[in-house]
Amino acid sequence: MISNIVFYLSLIISLGIGVLYFRDLGDVSQMVVKVKRDNMLRFIRHEYKLIGTALAALAVMVFVHLAFDAGPGWLCWTALALGLFLIAFPYVWVHVGLRNQKSNAQFYSIDEAREFVSPTSPVLVIESGGQARAFPDAQIMRPHLAGNDEGLDGHNVIMTYCAMANLGIGYTPEVEGQALDLEVMAQHGNNLILRDNRTGEPIQQIYGFREADGTRTESGAACPLKPSLAMKPWPTFRMTFRGFRKAYPDGQVFLNKPSGNPLLFLFDAFTEKLFSAEIGRQHREAAPIMDNMSRHDDRLENKTYVWGIDIGDDAVCWTDDFVIEQGNIFNAQVGGRPVVIAWHPRYESLGAWFNDTGAPVTQIDFFGETPAGKLQRVDTLKPGLFWHVWAEFFPHTDINRMSKMARAA
């Protein structure tokens, strides 16, 4: 009697945790199930404890069946196979399929990259001291994180990328001088969720701080309890590969070349095709392919590309066609700070700079040079992400804002 109770209780615990694990972190499950963010965060925080409990329960179930003949054999072995699948699939998907390159990324010269990147391919760029790195969307799509111990001009910077959001942000993976151990875990709201393995805390890519270090503002957006609790963003901008070649002829390009391990090679080839097909749909179709959004904002069409800036409690985004309609340059204010927004046709790039000249800027080149001196790129710019993702995380956002002086002109 007791052995049967233990058998069925262990079966329920193991399969129950397995189903939740598959649902919350299995990724493909979100094609058909709308996963709650709180449930996902719970599993991210307690992943190893929960799957350890599930595996222990499976072992107990098998033990009492073999030792005390508890439960029917067909049920025991079926539950064991199902339980192992429900645990193994999301674990392998997350920890092997989504393995990142935050410390071992390989960068190549422009000449070497030409074989893998076409001239009009979009690339994300970070730059320091004249050293520039380009991250083609197609190359960083699956590893999600790319950086190495060499750093960028001596700075510890990695590129984080979410294909679902079409969003790349360079970050220094540190908080208050302590290094973070980042791992790719999931997506919610069509935006990447990372985990700091040192604390077990989730990090929403678009925000850049650990969940436990955040709070909500009156406008509904999240922010860190204090600025030092957020990872430092690095000015990140978009351009075409041919634009990058013109601007930075000595620049480096990230390439995600196939693994030399035959098993990983085959596994990566499969996941690459799956990623490419689904991300292609994300760009083509109006609705999110994984609709775990909490709100809908019809001020712009879902898949409109926007360039967003958030400073303090203020958030503004612009569309590239609006910038071009303003003569490729205009002035605005975000969070009380003057900024210049400009499109540079030669380099096929839209950028934003902090304007500390004390007057409106009417001329600025791609590198930030103006008649009044060189300006610094806005480090909180989110370049070319989907509108529906920006609006999900910054619901109070303004659109296509210009300063009063710019409007009058």
pLDDT of residue 344: 98
Pairing between β-strand 314-318 and β-strand 398-399 as defined by DSSP bridges: parallel
Residue 162: beta bridge partners? 167
pLDDT of residue 404: 62
Distance CA(332)–CA(206), nearest Å, equals 22
327-to-32, 349, 362, 364 alpha-carbon distances in Å: 45, 14, 10, 12
224-to-72, 229, 359 alpha-carbon distances in Å: 53, 6, 32
Distance CA(3)–CA(392), nearest Å, equals 50
> Which uninterrupted H or E stretch holds 24?
helix 2-25
Distance CA(159)–CA(317), nearest Å, equals 21
Along the 409 residues of the chain, how does pLDDT read in single tens digits?
Answer: 899 999 999 999 999 999 999 999 988 788 788 889 999 999 999 999 999 999 999 999 999 999 999 999 999 999 999 999 999 999 999 999 999 999 999 999 999 999 999 999 999 999 999 899 999 999 999 999 999 999 999 999 999 999 999 999 999 999 999 999 999 999 999 999 999 999 999 999 999 999 999 998 776 678 898 999 999 999 999 999 999 999 999 999 999 999 889 999 998 998 888 888 889 999 999 999 998 898 899 999 999 999 999 999 999 999 999 999 999 999 999 999 999 999 999 999 999 999 999 999 999 999 999 999 999 999 999 999 999 999 999 999 999 999 865 443 4
pLDDT of residue 276: 87
Sequence-distant (6+) residues with CB within 8 A of 266 are none
Distance CA(119)–CA(240), nearest Å, equals 7
Distance CA(43)–CA(34), nearest Å, equals 15
Cα radius of gyration (the chain): 24
- Answer yes or no: are the C-beta atoms of 76 and 64 closer than 8 Å: no
The dihedral built from the CA positions of residue 159, 292, 203 and 300, taken in this order, carries a sign that is positive
Residue ranges of the alpha helices (H) in 288-358? 320-325
Sequence-distant (6+) residues with CB within 8 A of 159 are 124, 126, 133, 135, 140, 145, 146, 147, 168, 169, 170, 236, 254
What is the full DSSP assignment across 238-263?
Answer: EEEHHHHHHH-TT-EEE--PPPSSHH
Distance CA(185)–CA(40), nearest Å, equals 10
User: Helix, strand, or coil here: 107?
Assistant: strand
Distance CA(209)–CA(224), nearest Å, equals 6
Torsion of CA 348, 350, 354, 360, to 10 degrees: 90
Q: Spell out a b/e string for 367-405, using b for 16 or more CB atoms within 10 Å of the CB, else e.
A: ebebeeeebebbbbbbbbbbbbbbbbbbeebebbbbbee
Torsion of CA 146, 387, 35, 83, to 10 degrees: -30
Sequence-distant (6+) residues with CB within 8 A of 216 are 222, 223
Distance CA(176)–CA(232), nearest Å, equals 10
Question: CA nearest 25: which of 80, 91, 82, 79?
Answer: 91
